[in-house]
Structure 1
Amino acid sequence: MGCLATGVAATVVGVVTHAFYFNKYECHMHAILYIQLFLASWTTSILAFILGPGWEIGEAVAVTSIAASCFLAGTYGSLLTYRIFLNPLNRFPGPWTARLSSFFWTLQLGNSDAHLRLQALHKKYGSIVRIGSADLSVIDPAGMEITYGADTKVTKASWYDNNEPLTSMHTARSRVLHDRRRKIWAPAFSDRAIRAYEPIIDGFNDKILKRIREFEGTPVNVSKWFNLYSFDAMGSLAFGKDYHMLDSGEKHPALQLLSEGMQPLAYFIPSWLFRLLVSIPGLASGFHKFEKFSVDELGWKVEHAHMVEQEGRQDIMSWLLKPYKPTDKPQHDHLLQADTRLIIVAGVCSASGSDG
């Protein structure tokens, strides 16, 4: 009877915990903490039973494990009940299994082909499709103003917290933080700044055309050359640094780092699990290598900022560094580190596609 009462009580606690905590608040940032608390509670309870009533180790472990299992059963039972029967998103069409978990979508993307999968789902279900327990894919033009308009009340999804505390202007979920970072970015994309970038772009345009003409009608891998072009152009515009890929015809190792670093994002792993996985040493080495590359490039820029100033020209990072004083050590600022990665990814990916 004692074990039964313990199991029932633990189940009720699990249901209450989901209903009044997990289902009310954003919890994706604390997966590691929850695991630690669960294991600590399990261990502490065993010790309490042994040191208190003087139970045998086997009995203490059994009762505690039953309670822990019932707690999880209550929590996940409540979770599934809500998702299957009570979730307001259930009125939107989509695969029935998408109601149960966002893993439905993750498990579809083994070939990194989300665009094709989404196209097929929208063709079958319409302009709004349920693709996860809390996720919709919307291609209705009427949704643009509601979602992205100036007066929108919509908040960016938890996915944008994946790299916290490295929060860029793009990934900032706080409107206040986004607006503050946007003011810092604005001078880098003023009419005056953009006109100053044009000769740089023209130079790279001439260079890539010259390299392609060298093939004189023979087959050429244009995907490769546009990758080299985009990275060279990004480096010059962002950091005042030429990687000389167009000159050498060879890829800089950073291009491979970019591919490895961005690959995990192709699977749309739920945020709580993504943050858990990248915290495991060695499991997301490509992702962390690209992060380090971005930070290293920022450090290089801070150390060589005077070179660009002496040449009388400005690049994007020069503008972003203006609010900082040399004593601030801006290369250690997580916001600026994240913005550096944003520049690299946006600069390269917007100028060319990936050749895999």
Structure 2
Amino acid sequence: MRDKKSHEERRRVWSAAFGDKAVRGYEERLRRYLNDLVDYFSSQAAVGKPVNITKWFELYSYDFMGDLTFGESFGMLEAQEDHWAIHLLKQAMIPLGLYLPTWFFRIVTSIPGLSRAWQRLFDFCGERMMERIKAPAEIPDIASVLVVPIKGQQPSREQWELL
């Protein structure tokens, strides 16, 4: 982000979600998924079965991030596979490995059809944010902190850009 004023506004909104108090509150969420992960590892070790630890840490990480961000897991530890939104995210990230300039991605995402996966992912995230605006979280998460200034209303375009 090149505009200093826009950067400061976004930082002000986002910093509340990552302050000491907020981060301490996220620990309860982390433990739930960590316990599920350890239980799975223990069950596999008890029968001498090998575990693809990379896969399981990935499932754990996305479930925790989903809960931390939107107040609900992606259910990947339970399903033992990627959620469709995470699959889209992974597909959309492949071109980033090519180390192309930023302007290239702006051009590509403006071409109809080529940005369909990105748009579905943004729509999914937007729907989760609208759910959080309409129904505040019982246990604070990142989205619940970000939507405080919106106060249950339909966000303006400027507010969406800050989120």
TM-score (norm 2): 0.85
| Match runs of 1:247-266 below 5 Å | 247-266=78-97
Structural RMSD (CA):
2.3
Q: Matched residue pairs, number?
A: 161
Choose which of 303, 319, 335 in structure 1 pairs with 2:145: 319
Task: After superposition, give the CA deviation of every residue in 1:279-338 in whole Å (9 maximum; x if it has no partner).
Answer: 2223x34xx4134223322323322445444x2x211011111111433335885414xx
Q: Take 2:132 and 2:146, find their aligned partners in 1: how far apart are those partners?
A: 14
Task: After superposition, give the CA deviation of every residue in 1:224-249 in whole Å (9 maximum; x if it has no partner).
Answer: 11111011101110010122211222
Change (3 A) 1:334 1:303: closer
Unpaired segments ≥5 residues, structure 2: none
Q: 2:155 maps to which residue?
A: 329
Change (3 A) 1:184 1:264: same
Q: Take 1:201 and 1:248, find their aligned partners in 2: how far apart are those partners?
A: 18
Choose which of 57, 61, 69 in structure 2 pairs with 1:238: 69
Change (3 A) 1:241 1:189: same
Q: 2:27 maps to which residue?
A: 198
Local SS of the residue matching 1:260: helix
Q: Take 2:108 and 2:132, find their aligned partners in 1: how far apart are those partners?
A: 35
Q: 2:37 maps to which residue?
A: 208
| Match runs of 1:1-150 below 5 Å | none
Change (3 A) 1:188 1:304: closer
Change (3 A) 1:272 1:192: closer
Q: 2:126 maps to which residue?
A: 298
Q: Take 1:213 and 1:202, find their aligned partners in 2: how far apart are those partners?
A: 16
Q: Does 1:229 align with 2:60?
A: yes
Residue 205 of structure 1, CA deviation: 0.8
Q: Take 1:223 and 1:290, find their aligned partners in 2: how far apart are those partners?
A: 25
Residue 186 of structure 1, CA deviation: 1.4
Choose which of 85, 101, 123 in structure 2 pairs with 1:270: 101
Q: Take 2:64 and 2:43, find their aligned partners in 1: how far apart are those partners?
A: 20
Unpaired segments ≥5 residues, structure 1: 1-171, 340-356
Structure with the larger RCO, 1 or 2 (CA within 8 Å, 6+ apart): 2
Does structure 1 conserve the Cα–Cα contact (< 8 Å) formed by 2:134 and 2:152?
Answer: no
Q: Take 1:221 and 1:269, find their aligned partners in 2: how far apart are those partners?
A: 32
- Give the partner amino acid of 2:85: A
Q: Take 2:107 and 2:127, find their aligned partners in 1: how far apart are those partners?
A: 28
The percentage of aligned residue pairs carrying the same residue is 35
Q: 1:163 maps to which residue?
A: none
Q: Take 1:246 and 1:331, find their aligned partners in 2: how far apart are those partners?
A: 35
Q: Take 2:148 and 2:120, find their aligned partners in 1: how far apart are those partners?
A: 23
